[in-house]
Chains A and B, each alone.
Chain A
Amino acid sequence: MRDQLFSRRTLWGPVRKLLQARLAHALEGQQWSRAGELMSLWLDTWPVGAAVEPALSAWLALPAAGDLAVLARASELACAALGWQTQPGTPWPQPSAAWIREQVEGRPVHLRTRGPDDGRQLVSAALGVEAAPEEVDLHLPAVAELPGEALVARRAELAAALVRGELGAVRLTTPLPPTPAARLALAELRLEGDHQRAFEAWGRAGLRVEGVATWSELLQAAPAGEDGPVLQATADALLAPGTPGSLRRGELADTGWLLWEAPFSPIPVHPVAVACLRALDGERDAAAVAAEVGGPPDQVRAVLAELVQLGAATAT
C-alpha cells in the first residue's frame, strides 16, 4: 500500500482524476464546504506528487518531520480520492477490505506486526489470517494513555517522565476539558515531549521524529524565470471555478491556476494569464502571443513579465 499510494504516478494519475470528479460532483450538489476542501486537495496533487517519492526515500533512510508531513498530505489526498477512512486520530489510510484482498490475491500471506496501532485487526479480518505473534521491534519510545480529564492531576508526573525520556508521548483517550488548567497542562507536555506534537499529528509514526511540520510550511515559491523575447512555459496553467476559499463561500468565478510538478505553492491568477501561458510555444514573441490571445500587446507584455517573475515562464 505504501509503495502504491506514495508515488507520483498514483497522485498525478488516478488520485487527481478522482478528486476532480468528486469536485465536480460537489459543485453540482452545491456542497460548497466540501467543494472548497476538494479544490484544495486537487491543487495539492501537483506539489505533493512531486515531493512524495523523495519524502518516502528520505523517511526510510532517516525519519524527519518534513518528510512525514509530505506523506501525511499524500495520504489525505489518496483517502479523499478513494473514499477511504483514515485510522482514528491519524492521517494514515484505512483501506477497504476489498482493496486489501485485491492487493494480495493469489499470493500466500504472512502477516507480521509492528506494534500497537499497526492496523493488524483490519488486515487480519480482511484476509482471514492470524497475525504472527512476533513483532518487528521499531524501538519506539513508550506512550502513556489516559483520559483527558485525568491530565491536570497527572501533569507533573507525565511531564517529568517526558523530560527524563521515559515516555515518548502521551495519548489522551477522551477530549481535553476546555479549562485553562487542562490547556496549560497539555501545553507543558508539548513543550517537554520532543515527540508529543508529532505523535498527535501522525500517530506512532510521529514517535520517530522530533518536532512537527505542516505541509503548507514546506511549500516554496517557484524561482523566477529569465526574461527574454521568446518565452516558454515552466508551469501548468489551468482554469478552475474558483479558489478553495471562494468555493467555500459558494462563489463561482473562472480562476486561473499556475501549478508546478514541483513542491511549489499553486498560484491563482487572472484567466488571461492562463491564455497567455498556453500561447507560449517557444517560438512566439510577445506580439505574437498578443495576437494569439486577442489582447492588447502592452497588457500581454505585462502579463508575460509577471509570469516570468512568478516562475511560470522563462526565456527559451
Chain B
Amino acid sequence: MSDGAVSGSLTIVGLGPARAEHATLEARQVLEQAAARPARVRAYGLAHVRELVAELAPGLHVRPLDYLYGLPGVDRPTAYQDLARMLVRRAFDDGVDVLYLVAGSPLFINDAVLLARRLCAARGLPLRLVHGMSFVEIVLGRVYWTGHRGLQLYSAWNVARDGVLLSPEAPALLCQLGEFSSGGDALDVAGSRGLLAELRDRLATRYPPDHPLVVLSSSGHPDYHALARAVSLGALADEEVPVYSNLWVPPLHADATEREVAPA
C-alpha cells in the first residue's frame, strides 16, 4: 500500500452457522447497504455464504472463493494466507470497499480472518469485524454443558495428530471431526474413519473404551437441525461421520449432566 490516505475499507462479516435467521441485525444491515452500492463494494465468500446472501440481500453479487479448495498443489494454509493478503490489497491498495463474508463467527477457527486482522494491525489499517453466531451455539444445543469445569475447544486434528492432550477433568468439544488431510480438506466422508481411528487411539490413553461420546452434526440444508449420535469411545471409528461434524467428550469424573444427550 502507498503511504497516502486509505480510500477503501475491509469489513469481515460473520453470517452465522447455518440459516439466514442466524445472521445478526448488524450483518443484515451491512449486506443491504452493500447491495445498494454495487459499483463501490466487492463482496467475497464461499458457496454457503452465497446462499445466505441470496436470502438476506438479494442482488448483492458475491464473488466465489471456492477456488481456494481446488487449486492443485496449493494447500489450505497457503490459500488462506494468499486470500488474506489479497483482501487487504484490494481494500487498501486498490481503494475498494471489501466485504469478506464468512459462515459462523469470523473469530472461530478461520485462518484467513486471523491473518487479515494481523496484516491490518501490522500496517495500522482499519478493519471492521461484524460478529456472527458460531457453530458452537448450535452443537451445544444437543448436550448439557454446565460450564462448571470450563470447556476445551480443539479441532479433532489437534488431538489426533498434533499431540494435544485433553484434560479428562473438563468437557471437550472437538470440531471438524471429518477432517482427514493436513491441509484441512474434508471433502469426502469416506476419509473420516482414518482420522476417527487415530482420535480414538489418542483418547484411549486418557479415557476408558466405554467412555460416552456424542457425535454432533447438521441435517444440512434447509433446516440445519443439530443431530446427535451417542457412541462409546471404543466404537468411535466404526462409522463414518459427516464432513464438519463435532465430537462432545464429557469429563471423566463428573455428574451425569454433561454425559446426557439433549433432545432436538
Contact = CB atoms under 8 A, between A and B. Distances in A.
Contacts of B65: 191
A302 interface: no
Contacts of B63: 191-192
Given A160-B94, A163-B90, A163-B96, A180 B71 contact: yes
Given A178-B73, A191-B63, A191-B64, A184 B93 contact: no
Contacts of A192: 63
A269 B15 CA distance: 46
A183 B71 CA distance: 7
B153 interface: no
Interface in B26-58: 42, 44
Interface in A158-178: 159-160, 163-164, 178
Contacts of A163: 42, 90, 94, 96
Given A160-B94, A163-B42, A188 B86 contact: yes
A159 B67 CA distance: 16
Interface in A128-178: 156, 159-160, 163-164, 178
A187 interface: yes
Given A160-B93, A163-B90, A190 B67 contact: yes
A180 B78 contact: yes
30 contacts: A159-B86, A159-B90, A159-B94, A160-B93, A160-B94, A163-B42, A163-B90, A163-B96, A164-B94, A178-B72, A178-B73, A179-B73, A180-B78, A183-B72, A183-B73, A183-B74, A184-B71, A184-B74, A184-B78, A184-B79, A184-B82, A187-B67, A187-B68, A187-B71, A190-B67, A191-B44, A191-B63, A191-B65, A191-B67, A192-B63
Interface of B: 42, 44, 63-65, 67-68, 71-74, 78-79, 82, 86, 89-90, 93-94, 96
